[in-house]
A and B are shown apart, each in its own frame.
Chain A
Amino acid sequence: MTPGRALGLALAALLAAGPFLPLGGMKEYGLHVMVQIFIWSFIGGAWSLMGRFRLVSLGHGAFLGLGAYATTLLWNSWGLTPWLGGVLAVLLTAVVAVIVAYPCSRFQVVGHYFALVTLAVGEVVRLLIIAERNWTGGSLGVSLRPAGRDSLVAMQFADKRVFYYAAFVLWLLGLWVWARVDRSMARSAMEAIGEDETAAASVGIHITRFKIGITVLSASLTAVGGVAYAQYISYVNPDTLAGIGVSLRIVFAVVLGGMYSLLGATVGTALTIALGEYLRIVFGLRFIGMAETIYGLLLIVFIIFLPSGIYGSLRDLVQRLRSAPARAEA
């Protein structure tokens, strides 16, 4: 693993030095794209904590939206600092996650049914935000009330570099949590549950406890991502932060990268965001919808031809090449 680790460290160093690289006029834009990649990779990683154990949620938009809206509204209405508001938002999201996860686990709602229940939860949150338009701004969304100047209390900064480092740290934190779960006993337990619940229960695994645990962890991290995104963009909108559209986008990025590997979510997110930005630049305002059309088309092609994701497929390929001499026995 030494070459791999060295490569990883070099990459981390490059990312840490990112804002000071001479990029000329593209610098602000480059930083903006990188911040988005960090935050959405973090959210994708949070999703894959559940997805890899066959808890395919199509409703992570609900948790994202709760996090983003709770902090924004608390700040706008009562001037509560997003640090405290964020904690409250995450707590709220965790409670919602328990409310969803407990009955799902208790009544053995799995597979397609789990996906559709979570999809309904996502839509409920989106529609509630739209319905309560008096204080949420409805489908027009809400802008974060500006603090007027750079403020740590308000989590608002004019300099993109601050957000860059904050998002970078957040991303590393997400990777750390992912690796911790990956190496824990809980992973074996969750995998057993994903394979066969009855068999898992018969060897003494507490199914409900593990399922609620992983759902709460995944949802809370997603809410943190929502808070971060809302603070960075300083505008929240029900269609971009809740509901089926954003939920599908998160899942797409992760599956595209490969949800069974540490960097899968990051690779997938970086690729989809880079692709989206590239297409947007190429087409600009000339052919509205064309960029998204190609994006959708490529997604279908990727899903069909790279079923275990880009990162997963690459890793499989490397492993196959390495073990080529030993394959005679297989």
Chain B
Amino acid sequence: MIEPIFLAEAAINGIMLGGILALLALGLNLIFGVIDIVWIAYVDLVMVCMYVLYFVVQVYGWPFWLGALAAMAFGAALGVGVHLLIITPILGSAPVNQLLATGGLLFFLQSFATFLWTTDHKSVRLALPSWEIGGIFLPATRLIPFAISILALAGLYVFLTRTYVGTAIRAVSQDREAMALMGASPQRIYIVTSAVGGLMAGLAGALLLFQYSVHPFFGGQFGPLTFMICVLGGLGNMVGAFVASFVMSEIISIAGVVWSTEMGYVIAFVVFIVMIFARPGGILARRQ
């Protein structure tokens, strides 16, 4: 039997991980809800942002917070670029083609990163304290990203509900055709959404670099999980995705301690499959 203290620690780690997963999932879900295309390569964009941050901090000696801002700006630019170059031409294509175009981007980003920066793991060493409360370790490398991601999610909520652009974004995600009939241009909203999604990818990358080292195949570690959280929460449903992030992170974290890391993911994916059958509209959807 595993000591309760380890389980408690796993549960707390799960919450910390959930914050970052929520950031990833909400960025992807925002894009999905508005543009109706799954960016298979979303976490690979995060990976590129992590490299940007790594280089400005380790090679050019910028302070970490400034590097994080640069990574976010880069992410936003990348999001707009992806939208204009890849998504715009395929907006009317079959869903398979849309999935595959961003899938091609995944191959491209992974291999281009391999080409530019090799497959070495790169990490930024941060000298941060760690606290111990009742035998449970709470390192700042986990607490700070968690706090920032919660703040960022609150900021996203305010942006979507209290600003004019945010309201327009929600309007498009509710009814694409009606928006065009009202005389608003969906393309402008799409660009803003892609920029915000990219910005969140940059921020998530910065927060992930606190704990993880970056390598070209980093996307594979979080990519499938991120789509599944989006679906589990209900595609386009922000609150659902937020809740689903914590459900999945707890499963992964606790099962990871009880069995093994891989089994944690296996159980999370099986839960996902079962939940799709039980509640196809997401965990927060009402049953029909």
Assess whether A109 is in contact with B280, with CB atoms less than 8 Å apart: yes
Residues A299-330 near B (CB distance < 8 A) = 299-300, 303-304, 307
Residues B81-102 near A (CB distance < 8 A) = 86, 89-90, 93-97, 99-101
Report Cα–Cα, A225/B259, bound state, in Å. 33
CB distance from A185 to the nearest CB of B (A): 25
Residues A68-108 near B (CB distance < 8 A) = 103-104, 106-108
Contact partners of A131 in chain B: CB under 8 A: 259-260, 262-263, 266
Q: Say whether A127 faces chain B, with CB atoms less than 8 Å apart.
A: yes
Report Cα–Cα, A287/B273, bound state, in Å. 40
Q: Which residue of the partner chain, among B99, B270, B276, contacts A113 with CB atoms under 8 Å?
A: B276
Contact partners of B13 in chain A: CB under 8 A: none
Report Cα–Cα, A182/B70, bound state, in Å. 54
Given A127-B265, A248-B103, A288-B118, A293 and B108 contact (CB-CB distance below 8 Å): yes
Assess whether A300 is in contact with B86, with CB atoms less than 8 Å apart: yes
Assess whether B277 is in contact with A300, with CB atoms less than 8 Å apart: no
Q: Which residue of the partner chain, among B94, B111, B269, contacts A295 with CB atoms under 8 Å?
A: B111
Assess whether B107 is in contact with A112, with CB atoms less than 8 Å apart: no
Question: Can you report 19 residue pairs joining A to B where beta carbons are below 8 Å apart?
Answer: A107-B277, A113-B231, A120-B228, A121-B269, A123-B224, A124-B270, A131-B262, A244-B223, A248-B100, A255-B96, A287-B115, A288-B115, A289-B111, A289-B216, A291-B111, A292-B111, A295-B107, A300-B86, A307-B97
CB distance from A299 to the nearest CB of B (A): 4
Assess whether B96 is in contact with A289, with CB atoms less than 8 Å apart: no
Assess whether B235 is in contact with A112, with CB atoms less than 8 Å apart: yes
Report Cα–Cα, A297/B109, bound state, in Å. 9
Q: How many residues of B contact A (CB 8 A)?
A: 49
The listed residue with most B CB atoms (<10 A of its CB), out of A103, A124, A128, is A124
B248-272 contact mask (Cβ, 8 Å, vs A): 1 or 0: 0000000000011011011001101
Assess whether B104 is in contact with A299, with CB atoms less than 8 Å apart: yes
Given A116-B227, A131-B262, A252 and B269 contact (CB-CB distance below 8 Å): no
Q: Say whether A296 faces chain B, with CB atoms less than 8 Å apart.
A: yes
Assess whether B108 is in contact with A297, with CB atoms less than 8 Å apart: yes
Contacts beyond the supplied A124-B273, A289-B116: 12 A-B pairs with Cβ under 8 Å: A104-B277, A112-B38, A116-B38, A119-B227, A131-B260, A248-B106, A252-B100, A288-B115, A289-B216, A296-B109, A303-B93, A304-B101
The listed residue with most B CB atoms (<10 A of its CB), out of A116, A131, A252, is A116
Contact partners of B280 in chain A: CB under 8 A: 107-109, 113
Q: Say whether A264 faces chain B, with CB atoms less than 8 Å apart.
A: no
Report Cα–Cα, A127/B228, bound state, in Å. 16
Nearest 6 CB-CB pairings of A with B: A296-B108, A292-B111, A289-B114, A289-B115, A296-B107, A131-B262
Report Cα–Cα, A130/B231, bound state, in Å. 25
Residues B192-223 near A (CB distance < 8 A) = 216, 220, 223
Assess whether A56 is in contact with B114, with CB atoms less than 8 Å apart: no
Contact partners of A212 in chain B: CB under 8 A: none
CB distance from A23 to the nearest CB of B (A): 31
Residues A95-149 near B (CB distance < 8 A) = 103-104, 106-109, 111-113, 115-117, 119-121, 123-124, 127-128, 130-131
Contact partners of B97 in chain A: CB under 8 A: 255, 303, 307
Contact partners of B94 in chain A: CB under 8 A: 307
Assess whether A288 is in contact with B114, with CB atoms less than 8 Å apart: yes
Contact partners of A121 in chain B: CB under 8 A: 269, 273
CB distance from A61 to the nearest CB of B (A): 12
Nearest-CB residue, chain A, relative to B116: A289
Residues B103-149 near A (CB distance < 8 A) = 103-116, 118
Report Cα–Cα, A208/B17, bound state, in Å. 39
Q: Say whether A228 faces chain B, with CB atoms less than 8 Å apart.
A: no
Report Cα–Cα, A127/B103, bound state, in Å. 21
Report Cα–Cα, A291/B115, bound state, in Å. 9
The listed residue with most B CB atoms (<10 A of its CB), out of A103, A111, A112, is A112
Q: Which residue of the partner chain, among B95, B108, B115, contacts A112 with CB atoms under 8 Å?
A: B95
Assess whether B114 is in contact with A115, with CB atoms less than 8 Å apart: no
B59-89 contact mask (Cβ, 8 Å, vs A): 1 or 0: 0000000000000000000000000001001
CB distance from A124 to the nearest CB of B (A): 5
